[in-house]
Amino acid sequence: MTETSFDMVIIGGGPGGYVAAIRAAQLGMKTCVIEREHLGGICLNWGCIPTKALLRSSELFHLFNHADEFGLSASNIEFDVQKIVKRSRKISSRLTGGVAYLMKKNKITVIDGSAKLKGKGVIGVTGKDGAGLPDVQAKHIIIATGARARSLPNLEGDGKLVWTYKEAMVPEFMPKSLLVVGSGAIGIEFASFFRTLGAEVTVVEVMDRVLPVEDEEISDLAQKSFEKQGMKILTGTTVEKLEKGADSVTATLKGKDGASETITVERVILAIGITGNVENIGLEETGVKVDRGHIVIDEWCRTGVDGVYAIGDVAGPPWLAHKASHEGVLCVEKIAGIDGIHPLNTSNIPGCTYCWPQVASIGMTEQKAKEEGREVKVGRFPYQGNGKAIALGETDGLIKTIFDAKTGELLGAHMIGAEVTELIQGYGVAKTLETTEAELMHTVFPHPTLSEMMHESVLDAYDRVMHI
């Protein structure tokens, strides 16, 4: 007998949905997750996790090809694209299984099917095979349906020659040449992966720099690194049209000066943003507001329709799994009436890009701080000045910190270089604890580590840097 009445029903079992479910269960709510494809959502299956697996393979390929530097010999390093992909798929399904286990452990009901809001507290469910399933009753409904690749009139994936992340994640062969449209995290990570494995990669970006959400200085350093690796970067450039051949695509690009050029590549990867999965889930019927492809929510993830909430990618930026998870937790805790919770402070959400060299940042960029009229102190420390970085052979990078000159508040930290995605959490903890420069200076960072640069960067902001 399947239960159909719950305290909390979550539509979507990605990092937002399944985490919200676990929290709800921990707080004693009878919880159900309705998932139409696979637990873990895009993150585990077609996003965060598999790309990290792919990038690990390309990272090692790169290292093997430089074995000589480290006193090792290795020649004729080869790779098997299908095997690389297979590994990443195995990792995805292992983690999906893991989430299924967590659901069981927390006694959360999982319904395989697509959900549609029917009315107050009622959700219609259609099974994976298309058959109707019994309606589900819910006191509270959290919509966590995530998002998908955005397309534009002349830029649409066709599953064959023009790829979105879905095809790029499981290439059956290594293309000789690629055009990557969009230089956000997704575009750059794929560009990095394919370039490292030898494809000729051209990146086209409409803004004037790559990774446009990052601090300007970091974008510049990233572009320099990518170009050193042989990537062709065209900023301030749009794709006018794509003409498909038998096994290639010819793209017409328009540069900032207005001049057009064409480029012919084997495949195109579109990474021009994402749009929320807001269709066919009963939003119009129930009156849930949608704005430009995302559900409108307040700081507690409430939609304005009583008992209906939205979290994660479907609810707007930043489109990050950890943002979805935290929204899930705070939404559930607010419903449960827990004291002392606070809405998400977006300036304390780190963003990571796992290209090579890695990029990670948190808080305000230098430009934003200046735009707000703040007087700032900026510290910088280059990887070249760090012993561990040199010992690792990873000397490309920079750690930049930005402080409010008056109060010493850590406004932002922006990093590029090996392992910065693992380092950024230190600044995250510091920001959450409302550090000033003093506490960071007093923190003892271990030696020899890359993390020491985080300390030196802070010292540099106050003209006390030691190691450069």
Partner 1 sequence: MPIPILMPALSPTMEDGKLAKWMVKEGDTVAPGDVLAEIETDKATMEVEAIDEGIVGKILIDEGTEHVAVNKPIAVLLEEGEDESALKDFDGGGAPPAAAPVTPAAPSQAETPQPSPEPTPQPAAQTSGSNGQAGRVIASPLARRLARDGNLDLSGVKGSGPNGRIVKLDVEAALKGGQAAAPAPAEATAAGQVVPAHTGSAAAIPAMADEEILGLYEPGTYEVVPHDNMRRIIAERLTMAKSTIPHFYLSVDCKLDALLAARQRLNAMSVEGSPSAFKISVNDMIIKAMAMALQKVPNANATWTEQGVLRHRSSDIGVAVSIDGGLFTPVIRHSEVKSLSEISNEMKDLAGRARNRRLAPHEYQGGTTSISNLGMMGIKAFDAVINPPHSSILAVGAGEKRPVIKGDAIEIATIMSCTLSCDHRVIDGVLGAELIDAFKGFIEEPVTMLV
**Which region among 69-77, 187-195, 249-257, 400-408 touches partner 1 (by CB under 8 A)?**
400-408
Does 446 bind partner 1 (CB under 8 A)? Our answer is no
Cβ-in-10-Å burial (0-12, 13-18, 19+) of 39 comes to buried
16, 144 Cβ separation under 8 angstroms: yes
What are the structure tokens assigned to 376, written together? Answer: 């700032």
**Which region among 99-107, 261-269, 287-295, 405-413 touches partner 1 (by CB under 8 A)?**
405-413
**What is the nearest approach in angstroms of partner 1 to the Cβ of residue 435?**
6
Among 37, 200, 217, 439, binds partner 1 (CB under 8 A): 439
Q: How far apart are CA 306 and CA 72, in angstroms?
A: 64
**What is the nearest approach in angstroms of partner 1 to the Cβ of residue 336?**
17
Percent helix / strand / coil, the chain, rounded to 5? 35, 25, 40
Report the Cα–Cα distance between both ends of the chain, in Å, rounded.
Answer: 69
* Interaction residues for partner 1, span 338-397 (CB under 8 A): 340, 342
Site mask for partner 1 (CB under 8 A), range 280-309, x = bound: ------------------------------
Q: How far apart are CA 434 and CA 411, in angstroms?
A: 10
Q: How far is CA 460 from CA 35, 87, 216, 456, in A?
A: 49, 43, 19, 6
- Count, in order, helices (H) and strands (E) of the chain: 14, 23
Q: Judged by CB, which is closer to partner 1: 94, or 464?
A: 464
Q: Judged by CB, which is closer to partner 1: 164, or 435?
A: 435
Among 96, 401, 435, 457, binds partner 1 (CB under 8 A): 435
Does 429 bind partner 1 (CB under 8 A)? Our answer is no
**What is the nearest approach in angstroms of partner 1 to the Cβ of residue 320?**
23
Active site residue 447: yes
Does 407 bind partner 1 (CB under 8 A)? Our answer is yes
Among 66, 241, 406, 447, binds partner 1 (CB under 8 A): 406
Q: How far is CA 387 from CA 168, 258, 445, 452, in A?
A: 37, 46, 14, 9
**What is the nearest approach in angstroms of partner 1 to the Cβ of residue 60?**
42
Does 434 bind partner 1 (CB under 8 A)? Our answer is yes
Does 428 bind partner 1 (CB under 8 A)? Our answer is no
**What is the nearest approach in angstroms of partner 1 to the Cβ of residue 29?**
23
Residue 356: which of 193, 157, 179, 246 has the closest Cα?
Answer: 193
Mapped onto helix, strand or coil, the DSSP state of residue 438 is helix
**What is the nearest approach in angstroms of partner 1 to the Cβ of residue 439?**
5
115-138 per-residue burial string, b: 16 or more CB within 10 A, e: under 16: bbbeeebbbbbbeeeeeebebbbb
**What is the nearest approach in angstroms of partner 1 to the Cβ of residue 420?**
24
Q: Judged by CB, which is closer to partner 1: 82, or 347?
A: 347
Q: How far apart are CA 392 and CA 293, in angstroms?
A: 44
**What is the nearest approach in angstroms of partner 1 to the Cβ of residue 463?**
19
**What is the nearest approach in angstroms of partner 1 to the Cβ of residue 436?**
5
Q: Judged by CB, which is closer to partner 1: 269, or 402?
A: 402
**3-class SS letters over 299-362:** CCCECCCCCEEECHHHHCCCCCHHHHHHHHHHHHHHHHCCCCCCCCCHHHCCEEECCCCCEEEE
**Which region among 74-82, 94-102, 117-125, 435-443 touches partner 1 (by CB under 8 A)?**
435-443
**Binding footprint of partner 1, residue count (CB under 8 A):** 12
Q: Judged by CB, which is closer to partner 1: 398, or 410?
A: 410
Q: Judged by CB, which is closer to partner 1: 44, or 430?
A: 430
Please give the helix or strand (H or E) that residue 266 lies within, else none: none
172, 82 Cβ separation under 8 angstroms: yes
Q: What is the largest CA-CA distance in the chain?
A: 69
**Which region among 122-130, 182-190, 218-226, 427-435 touches partner 1 (by CB under 8 A)?**
427-435
CA angle (299, 305, 308) in 5-degree steps? 70
Residue 173: which of 251, 85, 243 has the closest Cα?
Answer: 85
Q: How far is CA 65 from CA 34, 88, 225, 277, 391, in A?
A: 46, 22, 18, 42, 18
Q: Judged by CB, which is closer to partner 1: 311, or 410?
A: 410
Catalytic residue among 294, 447, 455, 467: 447
Site mask for partner 1 (CB under 8 A), range 309-348, x = bound: -------------------------------x-x------
Among 37, 112, 217, 409, binds partner 1 (CB under 8 A): 409
> What residues make contact with partner 1 under the rule CB under 8 A?
340, 342, 406-409, 433-436, 438-439
Active site residue ranges? 447
